[in-house]
């Protein structure tokens, strides 16, 4: 796949504070790439450099092959930015906001009108397009915020924590919209400190903390990188000690121990292990009353890599 964004060795300091230190990553066409890290990790500084808002002290950025510089407008038309703040004008209508930014991207009159209509449909605001934005709910404003970033059909869409402060319903609508973008071939750079969002949306994730990328890869790669295992909870009635012993004899099982009214099993690949495990448990005479499988998540990975929780 074609590389849309290539960021190499980005470094940025503010006085004595090194906000970003040697950050590199690439995003391909149609790929959603997540920057996962707590507040102050360097996510916003990184995307500010990618968007051409901040000049890196060191490193290079290319979008669709064009170098991005703060003092040049080259390559800007290929970038769509959705800032963390709701960056729209409350005293303009939804359509007026879209038209204003569309004109800045040199969309000509008829094409602009058509594109505005399309985007309003996509973000579900066609019915409210002539209402002042100040009359919109927070979720509607967030959707318009994203719509402006999409208006000029960018090759790279940068979303900086787009769901902060959004109600669950609007949040889900936003996440669905982002999921659709990869189908349209747009490369998405998505920053978040919500582990669930990164897991749901991102093809690849970079875990960033204190300005440094600690690890990068698919969710599975990241998990295996730190050796985290799947957790299987088997609720049974019967001899819990015997059940745990039988389970621990399976080669894929790392550890099995009685807990409350069941057994906790740590294994490498829960989905392939589960049929045999349940068969062995039943053979002991115990009755299985419930099974729950939880794969290791990015939260655990982050904790393992940084020694602190994601929301610290």
Long-range contacts (CB closer than 8 Å, 24 or more residues apart) made by 83-89: 83/145, 83/160, 84/44, 84/160, 84/161, 84/162, 84/164, 86/138, 86/141, 86/142, 86/145, 87/145, 87/148, 88/133, 88/141, 88/144, 88/145, 88/148, 89/133
Contact flag: residue 86 with another protein (CB under 8 A): yes
Q: Which stretch binds another protein (CB under 8 A): 67-75, 210-218, 255-263, 283-291?
A: 67-75
Distances (CA, A) of 132 to 3, 129, 241, 276: 39, 8, 66, 61
- Helices and strands (DSSP H and E) totals, the chain: 10, 14
Phi, psi of 32, rounded to the nearest 5 degrees: -110, 120
How many residues contact another protein, by CB under 8 A? 29
Contact pick of 4, 23, 36, 51 for another protein (by CB under 8 A): 51
Contact flag: residue 85 with another protein (CB under 8 A): yes
Site for another protein in 140-199 (CB under 8 A): 148
Contact flag: residue 48 with another protein (CB under 8 A): yes
Q: Which stretch binds another protein (CB under 8 A): 70-78, 196-204, 272-280, 294-302?
A: 70-78
Contact pick of 6, 87, 225, 252 for another protein (by CB under 8 A): 87
Mark 216-232 as b/e (b = at least 16 C-beta within 10 Å).
beebeebbebbebbbbb
Contact pick of 20, 41, 81, 156 for another protein (by CB under 8 A): 81
Q: Which stretch binds another protein (CB under 8 A): 88-96, 223-231, 286-294, 297-305?
A: 88-96
Contact by Cβ (8 Å): 9, 23: yes
Contact pick of 34, 83, 94, 296 for another protein (by CB under 8 A): 83
Distances (CA, A) of 85 to 14, 164, 177, 202: 21, 9, 18, 22
Name residues whose C-beta falls within 8 Å of residue 108's C-beta, 6 or more positions apart in sequence.
none
Contact flag: residue 104 with another protein (CB under 8 A): yes
In angstroms, what is the minimal distance from the CB of 121 to another protein?
A: 22
Name residues whose C-beta falls within 8 Å of residue 220's C-beta, 6 or more positions apart in sequence.
none
Contact flag: residue 88 with another protein (CB under 8 A): yes
34 vs 14: CA distance, rounded Å? 24
In angstroms, what is the minimal distance from the CB of 63 to another protein?
A: 11
> How crowded is residue 121: how many other Cβ atoms within 10 Å of its Cβ?
12
298 vs 196: CA distance, rounded Å? 8
In angstroms, what is the minimal distance from the CB of 171 to another protein?
A: 19
Contact flag: residue 53 with another protein (CB under 8 A): yes
Q: Which stretch binds another protein (CB under 8 A): 18-26, 100-108, 201-209, 210-218?
A: 100-108
Pick the closer one to another protein by CB: 70 or 272.
70
Pick the closer one to another protein by CB: 85 or 121.
85
251 vs 254: CA distance, rounded Å? 8
Contact flag: residue 79 with another protein (CB under 8 A): yes
Q: Which stretch binds another protein (CB under 8 A): 44-52, 236-244, 252-260, 280-288?
A: 44-52
List of residues contacting another protein (CB under 8 A): 48, 51-53, 55, 70-71, 73, 76-77, 79, 81, 83-89, 91-92, 96, 100-101, 103-106, 148
């Amino acid at each position: 796949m074609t590389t849309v964004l290539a960021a190499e060795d980005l470094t940025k300091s503010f006085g004595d504070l090194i906000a970003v230190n040697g950050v590199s990553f690439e995003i391909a066409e149609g790929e959603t790439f997540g920057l996962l890290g707590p507040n102050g990790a360097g996510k916003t500084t990184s995307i500010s450099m990618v968007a051409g808002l901040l000049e890196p002290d060191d490193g290079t950025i290319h979008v669709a092959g064009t170098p991005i510089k703060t003092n040049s407008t080259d390559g800007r038309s290929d970038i769509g930015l959705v800032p963390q703040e709701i960056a729209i004008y409350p005293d303009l209508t939804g359509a007026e906001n879209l038209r204003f930014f569309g004109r800045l991207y040199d969309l000509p009159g008829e094409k602009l009108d058509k594109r505005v209509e399309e985007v309003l449909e996509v973000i579900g605001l066609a019915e409210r397009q002539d209402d002042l934005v100040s009359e919109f709910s927070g979720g509607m404003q967030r959707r318009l915020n994203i719509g402006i970033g999409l208006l000029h059909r960018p090759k790279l869409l940068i979303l900086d924590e787009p769901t902060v402060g959004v109600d669950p319903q609007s949040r889900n609508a936003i996440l669905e919209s982002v999921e659709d973008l990869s189908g349209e071939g747009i490369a998405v750079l998505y920053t978040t400190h919500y582990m669930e969002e990164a897991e749901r949306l991102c093809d690849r994730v970079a875990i960033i903390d204190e300005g440094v990328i600690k690890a990068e890869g698919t969710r599975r790669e990241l998990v295996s990188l730190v050796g985290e295992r799947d957790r299987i909870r088997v609720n049974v009635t019967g001899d819990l000690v015997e059940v745990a012993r039988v389970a621990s004899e399976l080669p894929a099982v790392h550890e099995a121990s009685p807990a409350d009214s069941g057994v906790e099993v740590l294994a490498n690949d829960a989905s392939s292990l589960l049929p045999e495990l349940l068969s062995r448990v039943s053979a002991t005479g115990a009755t299985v009353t419930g099974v729950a499988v939880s794969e290791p998540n990015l939260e655990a990975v982050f904790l393992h890599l940084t020694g602190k929780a994601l929301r610290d």
